[in-house]
Amino acid sequence: MANNEESRGLKSLLDWFANRRKSGTISHERQEREIADGLWHKCAKCGVLTYTKDLKANQMVCIECGHHNRVDSDERIRQLIDRDTWRPMDEHLRPTDPLQFRDRKPYSDRLREMQEKIGLIDAVKTGLGQINGLPVALGVMDFRFMGGSMGSVVGEKLTRMIEQATQRRYPVVIICTSGGARMQEGMLSLMQMAKISAALQRHRDAKLLYIPVLTHPTTGGVTASFAMLGDIILAEPKATIGFAGRRVIEQTIREKLPEDFQTAEDLLKHGFVDDIVPRTQLKNTLAQLIGLHQPVPTAPHMVLWESRSLSSSAAE
């Protein structure tokens, strides 16, 4: 009798474990659904679940391990620019398909899908604002839009922003994140490297400050041009920064690269980056650098938002 009870108990225990295994997928799906709903966020590095409100309050930096989660351009602007001081520029510029490029689908279709999915016209937002009361021209790249690739609109918007900053004698800050030049626009994309670099040189000739902030990842033609032309180059911790990809380099030189190769820390060690600044300290660091190198202009003709090239709605 006792043996029968023990066998039934063992059987029920085995059934319980079997049911748990069967329901494991459902539980996993439920967990993923709860995370997708935005209540919790699972860190990609340490795996710790963090209440999303706490994570956002810490600027999307993991409280447990310090991992810097990727943020979009709107969030970057909220983190850096003083409230009610942001004035966007050139929002009407839209990408076209001059080469009629097609791979698995037409480039024009890819653009339309990205615009509908993400709500952006292209991979960068530019504008004027204030950082702790100091005027600045800010460009923020967005990796969600075709990997932050640099097409004609990205180049044109950044160039116009830099020229506007030169005219106003404002410092320029660009938050860089990109996979490089946009292959669907061919040589037109590569031309943006020279165009932006030329605008930055005119800005430098006017003895004005330019600070690029390299975030994860910053690669390709962006690294080969404006990302590395700063007077002071900042980077976020553990950001991947380079030109060619790690695998391509290893196949070319037929050697194994160090684990920290192309990280912000490695670039700092070799002098390519001036400082690594955690995201939670970035706004104050930028304000200190701008205040030291670019005091607020006091000339009467340098009114903060006065500009002929901005629309009447923006020129307040």
Q: What is the pLDDT of residues 33-76, one digit of tens each?
A: 545 567 888 898 998 898 889 999 999 999 999 999 999 999 99
Phi, psi dihedral angles at 276 (to 5 degrees) = -105, 120
Phi, psi dihedral angles at 154 (to 5 degrees) = -60, -45
pLDDT in tens, 220-275: 999 999 999 999 999 999 999 999 988 999 999 999 999 899 999 999 999 999 99
**Per-residue burial over 35-67, b = 16 or more CB atoms within 10 Å of its CB, e = otherwise:** eeeeeebebeeeeeebeeeebbeebbbbeeebb
Across the chain, what does the average pLDDT equal? Answer: 87
Question: How is residue 120 written in tokens?
Answer: 């952006």
Check residue 74 and give its pLDDT. Answer: 96
Average pLDDT over residues 16-26: 56
Terminal alpha carbon distance of the chain: 90
Torsion angle, alpha carbons of 227, 201, 274, 140, to 10: -40
By percentage, how much of the chain surpasses pLDDT 70? Answer: 81
Q: Which of 125-129, 140-144, 301-305 has the lowest mean pLDDT?
A: 301-305
Check residue 245 and give its pLDDT. Answer: 86
Check residue 13 and give its pLDDT. Answer: 53
pLDDT score of 216 more than 70: yes
